[in-house]
Amino acid sequence: MAEAIVPQTKQQPVGDKISLITGSEAIAVACKLADVDVITAYPIRPYDTVMQYVAKMVSNGEMDCEYIVAEGEHSQFEIVKHASACGARVFCGSSGVGWMYAMEALTVTPALRIPMIAMVGNRALDDPGAFGTEHNDALAVRDLGWQLVWVDSAQEALDTALIAYRVAEDRRVFLPCAISCDGAFLTHSQAMVKVPSRAKVDAFLPRYNRGDLLLHPDNPITVAPQANEDWLMEIRRQTAAGMERSPMVIREAYKEFAQIFGRDYGNPFFEEYMTDDADVVLVGMGTLSTPVKVAIRQMRAEGKKVGFVRVRWFRPFAAEDLAKTLGRFKGVGVIDRDFSLGSPYESGVLTSEVRAALYPAANRPPLLGFIAGLGGREVTVPDVRKMSDMVQQAAAGKPQPATTWIGLRE
Amino acid sequence: MAVSDRELAELVKLRPTQGLDPFKGVKKLPLEEFFTSGHRTCQGCESALVMKLMVKAAGPRTVVLGSTGCMYVANTTYYSTSWVVPWMHTQLGSSGSAALGASAAFKALMRKGKIKDEPINVIAFCGDGGGADMGIGAISATLTHPDYNCLILMYDNESYANTDIQLSGSTPYGAHTTFSPPGSKKRIMHHRWKKNMAAMMAAGHPSCRFVSTVCMSYPVLAMNAVRKALTIGGPTFIHSLDPCPKGWDYDPMGSHELGELAVLTGIWPLWEVEDGTLRLIGKTRDIADGRLKRLPVRDYLLKQGRFAHFTDDDIAYFQSKVDETWNKWVIPGVIPFQRDIAADQPPA
């Protein structure tokens, strides 16, 4: 009997274990698979679940790493920064104001060309207190040389962590990467995840090699001297060049990931959902993809041609690619789970970036910005329908406000 | 059941150190320098001497991490670094974290066979601003980790000397700094007493096996403190008092003498705590044992412009506070607290 010919990337990969795990645990498992050498923890909800899983794996002898509980986020990030300079593969993470407490360390990490991988369990910034998700924490480092990626499932979290190590540690890039996981919706939600074998990971992820930047007595260099105006601009430019090479390296990594692991994410930078024949699209990041996709299926049943573009990589930002894609539609609505007070048109951060990306494009559809789901408030299906309707109105030439807060008590 | 040193070493999997023997005198010092030309410190800078002798004591298989401050800005001008050993900048409050991170990396990589297995010295230094102020939490945390070999050395020139001489938690009472200038209404702007940093580190960190105060006016003692700190294993701490011509306002040729005077007046006692045992060292020991009489603080204070506004009353107050550390402290010059004699009596 003839066997069905299945493309390599569609085959069920051999040796994967299927586990019911949360987004946080998926990233902890990725750290184990990547044979991370030094990990630092400090508690803050919701990211800290990843460190609880790491701690358990260390105590059970499943993972061989130096696991250090720091006395604050600043130290947490400084410890792994220096460990990485000495040649160790490192992992770290935080949430909300914890991430902000580490800000000085976060600032110097890309400038030092430290390919640290961090998990951000996105959380609203204080005050007032809220455990729920908001993207302002991770976005605060958007100008500094951090690569920023948002994922929306535990599987994608695991896969992206492996990809992130490969991209960050590629000498053409050598910049840190923060993987954003929406607090609670992803950090604490379980899903079935295919956990690949160590052999596959070894085939995909080469050893971290710091080369001539290694801090070791065999390589007596002075790292981060006082350069001043004589040289600072040239050094900054080198860091910028690393970020400019990142998209190419990301594409390579996703391609090879699909070949080795059998999961093909298509365009690494953003996912398109029902966009082929769409009139208008919504754009967003992270787990709001779930209510958006549900609402789109409902609206499609009613004949409304709505699609969704989920941005994965926020840094580097695939501006040309995204502008070209969005130019196909009659209207675009960008959903921000963040705020940027006093920004142009009072938009959220993502909206401003998308608007900027569209400026040089040949085709610039009407663009609306929405602020939704702050502090972990649910973005509901009716919310999505409302946003979608407004975009359709704008597409039909009926003026709409540039920015609307959604689901807000009046 | 008591855990032996060997069992403890196994529990925390402490790595061996280089086993650096003490230098037997100034004529026995090695000639090699690992901190050489290229730096831009001020004339008479005692902290530069700390750097030079610290790394001379440590030797070539050493990684040095330096937090922001004079010894960063002045020593590592791009393309003219003075460091022969590998050196990396760390943020102002991060000397503790830097030491921990480097030590953890070497430990993990050697255990996993990713780099050659050998003892590598890890030294992180900080100034008094980076150490006693901003970085005290990270240093404290590092000193609680028994499993990482590293030395944190705080060079204390008693102000933020790199940023224009602003007062720090380590600036002595009454000193003139740019943040505490004497004025027509307030002669004394700085009313805080200097933090007792080394004793605080020694008293509060049971996992830290070696803490010492040093002064480069007594260089062999200081270098041997560094060698002992790097040899004993685990995290260690050294606090060095560094006369600073710019910040203390004196002729650069006076650095060595002021260091001596700080010790001889009893303002800067030299001591070490090794595995819980306190030893007073050098001239400080002579003072404590009555072989040497403490000099009056006036001899020290009036040689420095930062105390030029002091009246006789101010000097007397300063003297009384120093006397208190010698006459009333539970361990003279080192550990404060006065015994409550009445309460110490056994119940009748």
Yes or no, beta carbons of B112 and A37 under 8 Å apart? yes
DSSP output for A270-283: EEEES-TT-SEEEE
Q: Assess B55–A contact: CB distance below 8 Å, yes or no.
A: no
From chain A, pick out residues whose CB is under 8 angstroms from the CB of B126: none
How high is the pLDDT of residue B17? Answer: 95
The residue behind tokens 């700080």 is B262
In this complex, the residue of B73, B76, B101 whose CB is nearest that of residue A38 is: B101
Per-residue exposure over B134-156, b if at least 16 CB sit within 10 Å of its own CB, e if not: bbbbbbbbbbebbbbbbbbbbbb
Q: Tell if the pTM clears 0.90, that is, is over it.
A: yes
B341 assigned to some structural domain: no
Yes or no, beta carbons of A222 and B88 under 8 Å apart? yes
Three-state secondary structure call for residue B20? coil
Q: Which of B88, B111, B149 to mutate to test the interface with A (most CBs of A within 10 A)?
A: B88
CA angle A71, A77, A81 (to 5 degrees): 130
Nearest to A68 by CA among B148, B299, B264, B323: B148
Search chain A and give the residue with CA nearest B12: A66
The type of residue at A196 is P
Which CATH number goes with the domain that contains B279?
A: 3.40.50.970
Q: Assess B108–A contact: CB distance below 8 Å, yes or no.
A: yes
Peptide bond into A46 cis (omega under 30): yes
Yes or no, beta carbons of B91 and A72 under 8 Å apart? no
Number of domains making up chain B: 1
Mind telling me how many Å the CA of A34 is from chain B's nearest CA? 13
B347 assigned to some structural domain: no
Domains in chain A and their CATH numbers? 11-261 (3.40.50.970), 270-405 (3.40.50.920)
Q: Assess B101–A contact: CB distance below 8 Å, yes or no.
A: yes
Domain of residue B206: give its range.
Answer: 7-336
CA contacts within 13 A on the Cβ side of A13:
21
Sequential pLDDT tens for chain A (410 residues):
455 554 555 555 557 999 999 999 999 999 999 999 999 999 999 999 999 999 999 999 999 999 999 999 999 999 999 999 999 999 999 999 999 999 999 999 999 999 999 999 999 999 999 999 999 999 999 999 999 999 999 999 999 999 999 999 999 999 999 999 999 999 999 999 999 999 999 999 999 999 999 999 999 999 999 998 999 999 999 999 999 999 999 999 999 999 999 999 999 999 999 999 999 999 999 999 999 999 999 999 999 999 999 999 999 999 999 999 999 999 999 999 999 999 999 999 999 999 999 999 999 999 999 999 999 999 999 999 999 999 999 999 999 999 999 999 98
Nearest to B5 by CA among B207, B228, B226: B207
Q: Show Cβ contacts of residue B27 under 8 Å, excluding neighbours closer than 6 positions.
A: none
Could you report the predicted ipTM of this complex, rounded to two decimals? 0.94
B346 assigned to some structural domain: no
From chain B, pick out residues whose CB is under 8 angstroms from the CB of A32: none
**How far is the first Cα of chain A from the last one, in angstroms, to the nearest whole number?**
66
B83 assigned to some structural domain: yes
Q: How far apart are CA A96 and CA A140, in angstroms?
A: 10
Q: Assess B113–A contact: CB distance below 8 Å, yes or no.
A: no
Q: Which of A36, A37, A79, A108 to mutate to test the interface with B (most CBs of B within 10 A)?
A: A79
B85 assigned to some structural domain: yes
In this complex, the residue of A65, A74, A104 whose CB is nearest that of residue B108 is: A65
CA–chain centroid gap for A341, Å, is: 22
Nearest to B40 by CA among B246, B253, B255: B246
Q: Show Cβ contacts of residue B18 under 8 Å, excluding neighbours closer than 6 positions.
A: B59, B61, B119, B121, B230, B231
Tokens of A220: 């007596």
CB A375 within 8 A of CB A132: yes
Yes or no, beta carbons of A79 and B89 under 8 Å apart? no
CB atoms inside a 10 Å sphere around CB A266: 10
Three-state secondary structure call for residue A69? strand
B126 assigned to some structural domain: yes
Yes or no, beta carbons of B104 and A83 under 8 Å apart? yes
B202 assigned to some structural domain: yes
B1 assigned to some structural domain: no
